[in-house]
């Protein structure tokens, strides 16, 4: 028997397949994957020794809101294409095996706990298209009433910029991959075409890029101090491309400031050991 794990990220989808350990890993654009889930998985299977009948467990995580009752998923940043507004995950995936749909940060913290940077009281924070958190306390995974524990991207910070959810002054409105460009434009009147361009301008000492990065650092400090005060973790593991690609600027540089602001003891802060595969490995732990 085999398992199939699928991490549908804001940009890329990772598909892992195996029996015991992963034997096959595949990466494709989430837009392409979601346009025809069933045939994409069938194609991946054709490149392996496994057939559909060999798969017992299917574990999937997606970066975006989900309606478990309807079995659908709403991709937050692929919606320029209207047929990708609402995706039927359940109907296309349950054909392959026993399906579990798991919050992406919940999976990621489990992945790091089992295979990466482990601690009995740890949180995993992703800063990617959105911002979210998964937690393990006293060695147990915390999932919340609806499996949505740790929607920290929507915590209020000091400001009133509009968030993708419609709320005002949320952490995501300032520091997420989806909103940082809008933040730079609204607060500092400067248009950047991409996060890469913004950070390049920052490296070249562009004044407005410096202001935008400064703003992200301020907001990240506030949010991290809140998380430390609320949850008292002894380790914070960071994942997501925004955090991992700009780790020294966005995280390392603010550690002192966070320590000043936090009432609780400062935890160890580290980048994810599994890099962009924390979610995939976490999903593996939910399968046989
Ligand atoms: Zn929000």
Total residues found in the chain within this entry: 288
Q: How many CB atoms lie within 10 A of CB 44?
A: 20
Q: How far apart are CA 46 and CA 58, in angstroms?
A: 17
Residue 72: what pLDDT?
Answer: 81
Q: 2-106+277-284 and 118-272: same fold?
A: yes
Separation of CA 59 and ligand 1 centre (Å): 27
Regarding the domain with residue range 2-106+277-284, which homologous superfamily does it belong to in the CATH classification?
ATPase, nucleotide binding domain (3.30.420.40)
Residue 206: the pLDDT is: 98
Tell me the three state secondary structure of residue 18.
strand
Q: How far, in Å, from the CA of 219 to the mean position of ligand 1?
A: 14
pLDDT at 81: 53
How far, in Å, is the centroid of ligand 1 from the Cα of 44? 35
For residue 131, the CA-to-ligand 1 centroid distance in Å is: 10
Q: How far is CA 78 from CA 40, 64, 73, 171, 258, in A?
A: 18, 10, 12, 21, 33
| Residue 16 CA to ligand 1 centre (angstroms) | 31
The Å distance, Cα 171 to ligand 1 centre, comes to 7
pLDDT at position 55, please? 95
Residue ranges per structural domain of the chain: 2-106+277-284, 118-272
Has domain 118-272 been given CATH number 3.40.50.410? no
Around ion ligand 1, residues with a beta carbon closer than 5 Å are 154, 163, 165, 167, 170
pLDDT tens-digit profile, the chain (288 residues): 899 999 998 889 999 999 989 998 999 999 899 999 999 999 999 998 899 999 999 999 988 777 777 878 777 655 455 566 788 888 899 999 999 989 899 999 999 999 997 899 999 999 998 999 999 999 999 988 877 889 999 999 999 999 988 999 999 999 999 899 999 999 999 999 999 999 999 999 999 999 999 999 999 999 999 999 999 999 999 999 999 999 999 999 999 999 999 999 999 999 999 999 999 999 999 998
């Amino acid at each position: 028997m085999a398992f199939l794990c699928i991490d549908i990220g804001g940009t890329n989808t990772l598909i892992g397949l195996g029996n015991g350990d992963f034997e096959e890993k595949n990466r494709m654009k989430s837009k392409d994957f979601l346009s025809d889930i069933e045939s994409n998985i069938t194609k991946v299977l054709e490149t392996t020794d496994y057939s559909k009948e060999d798969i017992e467990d299917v574990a999937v995580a997606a970066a975006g809101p989900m309606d478990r009752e309807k079995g659908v998923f709403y991709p937050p940043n692929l919606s320029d294409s209207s047929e990708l507004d609402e995706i039927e995950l359940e109907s296309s995936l349950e054909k392959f095996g026993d399906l579990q749909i798991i919050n992406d940060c919940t999976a990621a913290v489990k992945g790091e706990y089992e295979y990466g940077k482990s601690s009995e009281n740890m949180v995993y924070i992703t800063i990617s298209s959105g911002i979210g958190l998964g937690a393990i306390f006293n060695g147990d995974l915390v999932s919340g009433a609806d499996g949505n524990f740790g929607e920290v991207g929507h915590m209020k910070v000091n400001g009133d910029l509009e968030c993708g959810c419609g709320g005002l002054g949320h952490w995501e409105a300032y520091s997420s991959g989806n909103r940082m460009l809008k933040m730079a434009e609204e607060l500092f009147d400067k248009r950047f075409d991409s996060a890469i361009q913004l950070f390049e301008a920052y490296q070249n000492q562009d004044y407005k890029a410096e202001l935008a990065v400064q703003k992200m650092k301020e907001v990240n400090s506030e949010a991290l101090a809140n998380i430390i005060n609320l949850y008292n973790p002894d380790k914070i593991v960071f994942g997501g491309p925004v955090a991992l690609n700009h780790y020294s600027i966005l995280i390392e540089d603010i550690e002192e400031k966070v320590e000043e602001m936090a009432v609780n003891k400062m935890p160890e802060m580290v980048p994810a050991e599994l890099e962009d595969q924390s979610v995939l490995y976490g999903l593996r732990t939910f399968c046989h």
